[in-house]
Amino acid sequence: MSTEMSTTQDIIGREEVDDLEAILSVVGTEEADGRHTVHSEYDTIFTWDYEKGTRPKLNKLYEKAKNAQWNGETDLPWETDVDQEKLVVEAAAANGGHAVGFDITGSPLESWGDAEWVALGVESQNWTLSQFLHGEQGALVCTAKIVESVPWIDAKYYAATQVMDEARHVEVFAKYIDDKLSGRYAVNAHLRTLLDDIVADSRWDMTYLGMQIMIEGLALAAFGFMHSMTPDPLLRQLLRYVMADEARHVAFGVISLQEYYADLSTAELRERQEFAYEAAVRMRDRFLQQEVWDRMGVDPKTILPFVLSAPDRTQFQALLFSKIVPNCRKLGLLDAADGWLRTKFTELGVIEFESAVDTSEEYDAMAAVPPSQRDLV
């Protein structure tokens, strides 16, 4: 197998990672019948070794997962009234105003009044929760695939609990969007491309890397950010429940891949590095929310240079990788192949998080709180 590294063009389809025009040229579509088919071929592995606990860390995680189940229908206060516009106004007031963080002088937003800013806040929330929903269905599909394809019984046991977790996450996000918000968005094109790649890959460890480490890791950070920002007590509690599950899911990926990656060749590790980098860029691209700007009647190519120039935008994008970088370090991916991924994460401005608390430690803290008490205030 060749050890020659692919170019940025090979990996993400463009020469410059920040080529805004290339990013915005990727536009999502939705099938008329509401179904999206991805073809995949992989081995379904039966194991006749049923000895439970051969891999103690996975067995311990499985036991924790059994005790951490919750009911999305009965354990959340669905009777809570949610006034989206009021919540947008409250959040803006708490953070210094609607346009805080970037200079809108000369932009299409310069003449906006409160009504337009509130509408943008509402649409942004609709979009964000919709992408969470679509990502959770991706996790549901991927984890079901892991149950089939992973060769160890302890991993199959644990992954089966995650299938239930992901079904519950899809359920609660769909219910919150449909009952409490004012509209749903189709899956973002960058997210769908990444999900397609993960599902189509025949190698079980790539499913782990793409979903458990990259998508779930970013989701955990995004959920935490929204949890800290929203004034809505129902959404806060929903996110707190989901975050405890997600931390366990990422820990599952780290535990499983640490063992497997220890035996991979340099060329095989380079493939995983490139995949992790591609996933990181695609996830960063989707947070441009181009669909929201389209719906607001604002040309994304015109407004996004203003948005991206804001100092807090750079900080926000970097923060989303606070769960991914330390786990990639723990898997040995940062420094394999002459530190290629470390270089790429440095270029993306996220390497500062490599020494952040890893997800296993974070999950131990979350798991200590019973499901019924996961209502952080």
What's the CA angle centered on 101, arms 312 and 24, to 5 degrees? 70
Does residue 236 sit within a domain? Answer: yes
Q: Does 366 have pLDDT greater than 80?
A: no
Does residue 210 sit within a domain? Answer: yes
| Dist CA 348 CA 317 (whole Å) | 9
Write the CATH number for 193.
1.20.1260
Cβ neighbours of residue 31 under 8 Å, at least 6 residues apart?
A: none
Q: What is the pLDDT of residue 370?
A: 58
Confidence of residue 103 (pLDDT cuts 50, 70, 90): confident
> Looking at 46-60, 259-273, 313-327, which range is the least confident one?
313-327
Q: Which one, of 340, 322, 304, lies nearest residue 22 by Cα?
A: 304
User: Tens digits of per-residue pLDDT, 24-45?
Assistant: 888 888 888 889 999 999 999 9
Confidence of residue 365 (pLDDT cuts 50, 70, 90): low
Provide the sign of the torsion angle of the four alpha carbons 42, 277, 215, 37, taken in this order: negative
Mean predicted confidence (pLDDT) in 344-359? 85
Does residue 281 sit within a domain? Answer: yes
* Reported pTM: 0.91
CB atoms within 10 A of CB 305: 11
User: Tens digits of per-residue pLDDT, 202-242?
Assistant: 999 999 999 999 999 999 999 999 999 899 999 999 999 99
Q: What is the pLDDT of residue 315?
A: 73
Mean predicted confidence (pLDDT) in 260-275? 94
Confidence of residue 122 (pLDDT cuts 50, 70, 90): very high
Does residue 45 sit within a domain? Answer: no
Q: What is the pLDDT of residue 240?
A: 96
Q: Does 376 have pLDDT greater than 50?
A: no
| Dist CA 85 CA 76 (whole Å) | 22
Q: Structural domain tally of the chain?
A: 1
User: Tens digits of per-residue pLDDT, 127-183?
Assistant: 999 999 999 999 999 999 999 999 999 999 999 999 999 999 999 999 999 999 999
**How much is the mean pLDDT over the chain?**
90
Does residue 11 sit within a domain? Answer: no
Domain extent for 245: 112-370
Query: pLDDT > 90: what percent of the chain?
Result: 69
Q: Does 1 have pLDDT greater than 50?
A: no
